[in-house]
Structure 1
Amino acid sequence: MMIWGVSLATCAVVAAASLQEPLLIPHISSAKKPLVNSTELQDSITVENLLARAKHLSKIADLSQDQYNHPTRVIGSRGHQGTLEYIISTLAGLGDFYTTSNQSFAAVTGNVFESRLVIGSDVPKSAAPMGLTPPTKDKEPVHGPIVLVSGDGCHASDYPSNVTKSIALIRRGNCPFGDKSELAGKAGAIAAVVYNNENGSVQGTLGAPSPDHVATFGLSGEEAAPYIARLQKGKPLDGIAYMDAEVAAIQTTNIIAQTVDGDPDNCVMLGGHSDSVAEGPGINDDGSGSLSLLEVAAQLTNYSVNNCVRFAWWAGEEEGLLGSDYYVSVLPEEENLKIRLFMDYDMMASPNFAYQIYNATNAANPDGSEELRNLYVDWYKRNGLNYTFIPFDGRSDYDGFIRNGIPGGGIATGAEGIKTKEEELMFGGKSGEWYDPCYHSLCDTVDNLSLISYVTSTRLIAHSVATYAISFEGFPKRSQSISTEGYARDVKYHGHKLRM
């Protein structure tokens, strides 16, 4: 298979090469720079440079070994601090093409070191700690009866008096998980279990910490069903909950780089997140996206632009889109309106990849979102590549932009979703398996990257940058009167974990 002169064999040779540091980018004198050209900018993106950056990032993740006993770039770790320093130093080496700023903000990070849930004589396989859950009392096991909460557990009246000193069993739905945990804690529960109201497990987050939160687990509806039936018949059921976890407040940093040249009132903005989960080094999630941005930013310095280009590396995405949310929340209205669109690039090199486009339409999102979606569609078609649409459901850093009236969209190559048989025919790989089997795991290393999807995705990023850096002709103008209530109401996610 060939793609722009890069063969699978070439990718294999490059993967085996012992590249040390990212390659230097030759720069053209500013007085001689031509206007950016999409084809030329795409052609400047090479497998060698992308892989070299990924190998360098892997070494940076190793800085956290002493803290976490494995590589990671989670916020607050040495690996994440090293990632920020690498991005900043790379941008500094590009001369005066960009104005770079660091935006510090307060963030909350959580880590679960050990957990266990026992219901009756069972250890439910689907039981999983909620994100940002506190520990059980004194980080020791707690024992008590399982008490079924009425309704969806969204009101204090749903919690019966006997929930005190019990483990509350709460149905998912209608309000955030954090509200359910908080109400359980206020009612005197020693722990909480939120079971799914539909098929599948619950991988959720409690969100902003509350002193009334209790240790909280998610549980699949299938495993919860027999326990619910037993309790509804009035038969007692005991449980044991154990959670060794911590929730800590820290300071972390977004990095923003904007071209010095180009119309500052018409900016094309794009971003990826600089952090990983605590469980692994995150070389695909989102090392691939953040490094794609860095490489495109480096190559763009060889050209001039008509419209300003603004790159962002967000911190705290894995903790609930903290960095991007903060950035948009403090933007004055006049600055908000200068951003013509935001493009999100999260996970560009999944090994069992599909070329995915967020299905962002103007009917459900700010005008311009669909035009961006169609730019991706047209590019894949022109290059003879298949593509598929995925839900625009709040799982990545575009969320805050859409909620604040800024059109957006993006591409991805797949996370924990399962590849279908049809997608196997479209993209290769293996149906029935995750797009990224190492998603949020220790094995998300350099060896986890598909170099073909990595270089392809980065070239599409380059195309998106070049297109809007040249002109917004035909692209909808920003409006000050955009309602995104429907989007906010319908979106189930805030980051990679369910929020309600």
Structure 2
Amino acid sequence: MARILFLLSALGFVSALDQQVLSGPVVHGQHKDKPLIDTKSFQKTIKGDNLLARAKELYEIAKTSQDEWNHPTRVIGSAVGHQATLEWIYSTIAKLGDYYTLSNQSFPVVLGRVNEARLVLENDVSKSMVPFALSPSTPNKQPVFSQLTLIANDGCEASDFPSETKGSIAFIRRGSCFYSNKSSLAGQAGALAAVVYNTDDEQFRGTLSFVDPDHVATVGIALGEAAPIIKRLENGDSIDAIVYVNAELQEIHTTNIVAQTTAGDPDNCVMLGAHSDSVEAGPGINDDGSGTISLLEIATQLTAYNVTNCVRFGWWAGEEEGLLGSEWYASSLSKEENAKIRMFMDYDMMASPNYAYQIYNATNAINPSGSEELRDLYVDWYKDQGLNYSFIPFDGRSDYVGFLVQGIPSGGIATGAEGIKSKKGEAKFGGKAGDWFDPCYHQLCDDVGNLNMTAFVVNTQLIAHSVATYARSLDDYPKRSLEAAADNGQFGVRDMKYRGSYLVM
């Protein structure tokens, strides 16, 4: 009972977080009585028992959402699960005393929940249909019945929507532009709803990214279902369809937590982050409880050392809703504060059970200078440990996006989500070919038993190495400037395929 009361006390904590920024006592100066950070000794402080103990604590927090959600979850908006996660993170760092300053950043988010959705094409109920995140309901939350109109090109221009779109259901090919654009243009053309069909025979999870009054109820389907429909529409056939979406859109406030060392040069900060929330469907102990825990353990062990450059930790809310917290934080930085962040390192899913050691393939050719040096640091470390690694696309799947578009060098590692391990991957990393890297990804079974402790320890040691290397010295790392921080347009306009786990285009 005492434990439950402790967790429920998080409600009072979050009411305090509704203020935009709260800071702990600011203590300047170096911890000169402590040894300067050294990567070899620092890596040795990372113990599997400590990581597992924190994972068990976090799962107990997720379980307090049982009454509200009927299962463990730490989704933002949960009255206990996520709010208690925030309190747990905050109190863990606060107990470390004056080694860190703590700040909390409250921000608004729009939550979308689809209660029910159906698509009927003529007399057949769609088997591949998935409603888009942040889709509005069909009018009056009732089914709409009309003919399909095949939209020209990719539905990215108003001219792609013919006059007969009005009062019909727009049938739009995926590609070229954001789904939000397609839905808005369909609404402006008078469509009752929109169906976006994939360019391959894969079911896909899309998001409209933001709320727009022109959006219409929007769902996606696989090409296998769409192909015969497209052929008939191109031949001039009339095809009836029914779209039904019952959705809720709600604005709430949630919170980012940031901790920074009081020691180290405050004008040269080494920054790393993980997200504090889970999806609604489960407790998220790997995604991204593992990253959250790695950061907490590293922040705890770091207090035994002095640092040359400041170290800043960020725990982002709303990642599962579309990278909301990290993008809010990065976009709110002044150019002076932006320039103080020498790099951002993203740590999301460190312990997938069917893991691979994955490195984001960040190159300086298309990313801010310094991203490739960070990538190579991970490569060199895996090689030094005699471990295999693989590169994965830098395509918008995690919280590095908000930093990249603000011109901040970025990178990170992961162990895999819903991707399928190949035979080659099995040979390199063990595990099972043909299965997801994390078979419990975004599911109820993402609990303590879903963690591969070997991968968890190895990757947390690598995180420790990344922190120790740059907290000790940035002499060989590309410099940043106010001019570069102010001129991030080349990165700000960059189109990325994903926003978190959702496709956006």
TM-score (norm 2): 0.90
Contact 1:365–1:484 (CA under 8 A) maintained in structure 2: no
Q: Counterpart in 2 of 1:57? A: 58
Deviation per CA, 1:42-74: give whole Å up to 9, x if none: 111111111111111111112222332222211
Identical positions, percent: 63
**Matched-pair contact (CA < 8 Å) for 1:272–1:312:** yes
Kindly report which structure 2 residues correspond to 1:230-379, keeping only aligned pairs within 5 A, or say none.
230-379=232-381
**In the TM superposition, what whole-angstrom CA distance separates every residue of 1:261-305 from its partner, at most 9, and x where no partner exists?**
100011000000111112221111111111110111011111111
Q: Which runs of 5+ in 2 are unaligned?
A: 1-6, 8-29
Paired positions, count:
473
Distance in 2, Cα, partners of 1:298 & 1:112: 40
- Residue aligning to 2:432: 430
Query: What's the secondary structure of 2:147's corresponding residue?
Result: strand
Q: Which amino acid aligns with 2:336?
A: E
Distance, in Å, in 2 between the alignment partners of 1:454 and 1:169 is: 44
Counterpart residue number, 1:96: 98
**CA contact 2:32–2:306 (8 Å) conserved in 1:** no
The AA in structure 2 aligned to 1:101 is S
Give, in angstroms, the shift of residue 233 of structure 1: 1.3
**1:383 counterpart residue number:** 385
Give the corresponding residue for 2:69: 68
After superposition, what is the alpha-carbon deviation per residue over 1:302-346, rounded to whole angstroms, capped at 9, x for unaligned?
111111000000111111111111111111111111111100000
Against the structure 1 CA distance between its residues 486 and 259, is the aligned structure 2 distance closer, same or farther, given a 3 Å change threshold? Answer: closer
**CA separation in 2, counterparts of 1:426 and 1:189?**
50
Match status 1:37 vs 2:18: no
Per the alignment, residue 196 of structure 2 pairs with 194
Match for 1:496 among 474, 496, 501?
501
Distance 1:81 1:327, change over 3 A: same
- The 1-side partners of 2:426 and 2:362 are apart by 24
Give the conservation status (yes or no) of the 8 Å contact 1:356–1:411.
yes
Matched ranges for 1:35-184 at <5 A:
35-77=36-78, 78-184=80-186
Paired position in structure 2 for 1:14: none
* Distance apart, 1:202 and its partner CA: 2.9
Pair 1:335–1:487, CA change in 2 (3 A): closer
Other structure's SS at 1:309 match: strand
CA separation in 1, counterparts of 2:280 and 2:185? Answer: 28
Distance 1:484 1:42, change over 3 A: farther
| Partner secondary structure for residue 498 of structure 2 | coil
Q: Using a 3 Å threshold, how does the CA distance of structure 1 residues 199 and 489 change in structure 2: closer, same or farther?
A: farther
Report if aligned partners of 2:404, 2:491 keep a CA contact under 8 Å in 1: no
Query: Residues 486 and 313 of structure 1: is their aligned pair in 2 closer, same or farther, counting only changes over 3 Å?
Result: closer
Q: What is the CA–CA distance in structure 1 between the aligned matches of 2:149 and 2:69, rounded to whole Å?
A: 36
1:416 aligns with 2:418: yes
Which residue identity does 1:225 align to in structure 2? A
Partner of 2:210: 208
- Equivalents in 2 of 1:417, 1:357: separation in Å? 14
**Structure 2 Cα separation of the partners of residues 394 and 183 of structure 1:** 24
- Supply the distance in 2 between the matched residues of 1:216 and 1:284 (Cα, whole angstroms): 30
Q: Could you tell me how far apart the structure 2 residues matched to 1:344 and 1:244 are?
A: 35
Is the 1:102–1:254 Cα contact (8 Å) retained in structure 2?
yes
Can you list the C-alpha shifts for 1:160-218, whole angstroms capped at 9, x where unaligned? 23323322111112221011111222222222111123453332110110122121111
CA distance in 2 between counterparts of 1:195 and 1:105 reads: 34
Residue 373 of structure 1 aligns to which amino acid in structure 2? R
Work out whether residues 407 and 492 of structure 2, in 8 Å CA contact, stay in contact via their aligned partners in 1: no
Backbone CA RMSD of aligned residues: 1.7
> SS of 2:124's equivalent?
coil
Indicate the SS of the match to 1:111.
strand
The code of the aligned residue for 1:296 comes to I
Contact 2:284 2:447 in 1 (8 A): yes
Structure 1, unaligned runs of 5 or more:
1-20, 22-28
How far apart in 1 are the matches of 2:73 and 2:189? 37
Amino acid across the alignment from 1:48:
D
Contact 1:402 1:484 in 2 (8 A): no
> How many angstroms does 1:378 deviate by?
0.7
* Length-normalised TM-score, structure 1: 0.91
CA deviations on 1:435-486 (whole Å, 9 max, x unpaired) are: 1111111221111111111111111111111111100121111143365636
Distance 1:31 1:493 in 2: 44
* 1:236 partner amino acid: S
Specify the SS of the correspondent of 2:417. coil
CA contact (8 A) 1:111 1:278 kept: no
Deviates more, 1:314-323 or 1:233-242: 233-242
Whole-Å Cα distance in 2 between the matches of residues 166 and 124 of structure 1? 18
Q: Does 1:456 align with 2:461?
A: no
